Chains A and B, each alone.
Chain A
């Protein structure tokens, strides 16, 4: 995983509430046994006509200005529903590096943190400024835990310290857990 310190990008705004992981990546894309290439299924049923290949012109990701944007601004309670890690795999494969909402579902947030996708929860006022300015250039600074808003002000966001360390250093949690072997063995012996 590449270390993430700062993300500077335009935003894509998808203001719907409760965007569930079935929308992010529909169930029929879950038959894979690897994680590559899932970006093609991202928001598939919103992005494409019924044939699955013709882009819907009015869907935000299909507009020319959305190309290359790495920050998704979504409505409240993003990522609810299924635990499928295919959701962050699809988002990162497509090119997203951060998701901003006013609330992010627990399992999705955990999964995002393990895949170099920064889950950002902002207060409703700061979030509304981003929703009101689709395509705005935004800077996410993970070190200071701030998002620079279109009006130049900065909004802070919470993130677990350990997850932040892992993201900023490009390391995963498995190495840390494996290093706990002695404590785990002791726990098992003492039960």
Chain B
């Protein structure tokens, strides 16, 4: 057992404990939570306006504008700027929300990479690209997918708007330390199986509430073998398993990815930082509060059929039968999901008609994801409406430099401007009621992509396979080796 002295862990420590310990301003007691210091506060337009209102009401300034970094992504259009210089916002509310963060950034001295800025992008794509997210940091944002940044060995978690205000005012949060959960990934991923398939399989195993109260650390050789993009996809969806945060220990892949990014340390400071970062991985003998093992040696591409991210099956699988559910509550949940999705139990998911395909989001909107989708779409024509939305302008530019945009456009897909887009349909990119969408995003909740819309979550390759097939398809049959 680890014993706590003044809030610090003793003996062999996990990555989580090391990062936690290094940020405790005031240890937790039975009476009060810990005061935890925040290194990086990322911000977007949806969850910040009311926090600035609180600061104004109380006459409080932003304590550390230099530790605050903002972009716009949720309410922004994914169509290009109009010839007259205006942005084609879906409605006046979207425009007002974007205008509000521009005003707030100006009034409080915060660096904003908004519309028109070459760095603008989905906040969890943009932060790492800026080199702002670094190993060992604490990173927060008023957004549940802040878990993404855990891919760098940063303790990163989503907060509400009240807490956004707390961080703006004090650079700190009141926090009770979460429990630790090791997700041990055994075996290696087969060809054609991606990080998205892995995380959908993990969530299917532990359930959408399985990680509640925990910080998940993903360990094992299959995790080490993932690229940084893959690790971001994995950590991004830790929240869909209910976890507070996801973590992957930093290694050479992390350092190589970060080197040279705008906010990464340079020269001697870089060497010193890497030396510190190498001390972050969990010590041999460190204890986790819980451990779960996931064997991925036979994992296939995954897809969801229901209305929560744990309702996933192999793409070659059949839709589960509620009659076989373990109890009445599980049966009711499954029945409700199938009713909403209008899918019949016992039927294969392969061949299910698809109306729309969305490739993008903070889960799968990075260059590697677009390459995967392009590999499948190359030389083929899409048979559904297909939106391809790069996660950021940097991703878009890099994709265009290697000709991915041509592949998408030649296939008949829409190559759009960066943003959250159809992941949560706030900006007008949305499904019509009843439509089926294979989406590379993170949530298949009822109406998430538009009221009445039906979402099937999958990897970029599986989404692209659906686009060119007009139905759920196995991407492994469409690409060679």
Interface residue ranges, A against B (CB under 8 Å):
15-18, 20, 22-23, 26-28, 30-35, 45, 50, 75-77, 80-85, 103, 105-107, 110-111, 114-115, 160-162, 172-174, 176-178, 180-181, 183-184, 187-188
Contacts and interface: CB of A to CB of B under 8 A. Distances in A.
B60 A178 contact: yes
B278 interface: no
Given A81-B144, A178-B169, A33 B50 contact: yes
8 contacts: A17-B329, A45-B447, A83-B143, A103-B212, A161-B32, A162-B33, A173-B162, A177-B169
Interface stretch (B92-100, B342-350, B379-387, B393-401): B92-100
B265 interface: no
Contacts of B49: 32-34
Contacts of A161: 30-32
Contacts of B176: 160
A84 B174 contact: no
Given A31-B97, A50-B452, A83-B160, 20 more contacts: A17-B330, A22-B445, A22-B446, A22-B447, A27-B448, A28-B426, A33-B49, A33-B96, A77-B208, A81-B144, A81-B443, A83-B142, A85-B142, A110-B160, A111-B162, A176-B32, A177-B169, A184-B25, A184-B171, A187-B25
A78 B58 CA distance: 32
Contacts of B162: 85, 111, 114-115, 172-174
Nearest to B159: A83
B177 to A, nearest CB: 12
A184 B163 CA distance: 16
A26 B242 CA distance: 19
A162 B60 contact: no
B209 A27 contact: no
A45 B446 contact: yes
B210 to A, nearest CB: 9
Given A103-B212, A177-B169, A187-B25, A76 B329 contact: yes
B172 interface: yes
B79 interface: no
Given A83-B160, A107-B144, A22 B37 contact: no
A84 B49 CA distance: 12
A85 B209 contact: no
Given A81-B144, A110-B160, A180-B26, A103 B166 contact: no
Contacts of A28: 425-426
A84 B47 contact: yes
A183 B26 CA distance: 7
A31 B143 CA distance: 15
Contacts of A22: 424, 443, 445-448
A111 B239 CA distance: 16
Contacts, number: 174
B161 interface: yes
B53 interface: yes
Given A20-B308, A162-B33, A174 B165 contact: yes
Contacts of A110: 159-160, 163
Interface in B422-471: 424-426, 433, 443, 445-448, 451-452
Nearest to B144: A83
A28 B33 CA distance: 34
A131 to B, nearest CB: 10
7 tightest CB-CB pairs across the interface, nearest first?
A77-B209, A31-B93, A111-B160, A85-B160, A33-B49, A83-B158, A114-B162
Nearest to B336: A16
Contact of B50 (A20, A27, A34, A103): A34
A75 B329 contact: yes
Contacts of B426: 27-28, 30-31
Contacts of A16: 332-333, 336
A123 to B, nearest CB: 15
A80 B308 CA distance: 10
A26 B451 CA distance: 9
A169 to B, nearest CB: 14
B100 A178 contact: no
A176 B422 CA distance: 39
A134 to B, nearest CB: 16
Contacts of A83: 47, 142-144, 158-160
B299 interface: no
B65 to A, nearest CB: 14
B264 interface: no
Nearest to A161: B31
A26 B308 contact: no
Given A83-B158, A85-B161, A174-B165, A30 B46 contact: yes
A172 B451 CA distance: 35
A50 B433 contact: yes
Nearest to B165: A174
Interface string B166-186: 100111111010100000000
Interface string B8-52: 000000000000000001100011110101000000001101100
